[in-house]
Amino acid sequence: GAVVSQHPSWVICKSGTSVKIECRSLDFQATTMFWYRQFPKQSLMLMATSNEGSKATYEQGVEKDKFLINHASLTLSTLTVTSAHPEDSSFYICSARFSGANVLTFGAGSRLTVL
């Protein structure tokens, strides 16, 4: 079945640094990838939707300059948290959808801790 790989699964960084999280679809071409954020004991909140080769569409309230999303190929999307601060500490989850399907496959998530 479809598999989405996310890396790293856990990252700790200093305040002010940037962190990149990768999301790969391993055995299918993902025309659309989604990035979610999940706070402890809360639901998943959609941050942005990205289609291969075009700019990401951000949800209201999500700073696009803060959370840079690149979807350069059909199997890879990256989320870069720029100038990270402690309030950016969260669980970031990507998901992917291949053309013609309305089912999302989720990555295992990346836990970001900003000191």
Paired with 73 in beta bridges are: 76
| 1 versus 86: smaller Cβ distance to other proteins | 1
- Type of residue at 39: F
- Structure tokens belonging to residue 97: 């959808």
The nearest distance, CB 111 to other proteins, in angstroms, is 12
User: Which residue, 23 or 84, has its beta carbon nearer to other proteins?
Assistant: 23
Which positions touch other proteins (CB under 8 A)?
32, 34, 42-46, 49, 57, 93, 95, 97, 102-109
* Minimum CB–partner distance for residue 16 and other proteins (Å): 30
In the complex, the smallest distance separating the C-beta of residue 63 from other proteins, rounded to whole angstroms, is: 19
DSSP string, 56-111: PEEPTT--TTTEEEEEEETTEEEEEE-S--GGG-EEEEEEEEETT----EE---EE
Comparison of 13 and 104: residue with beta carbon closer to other proteins: 104
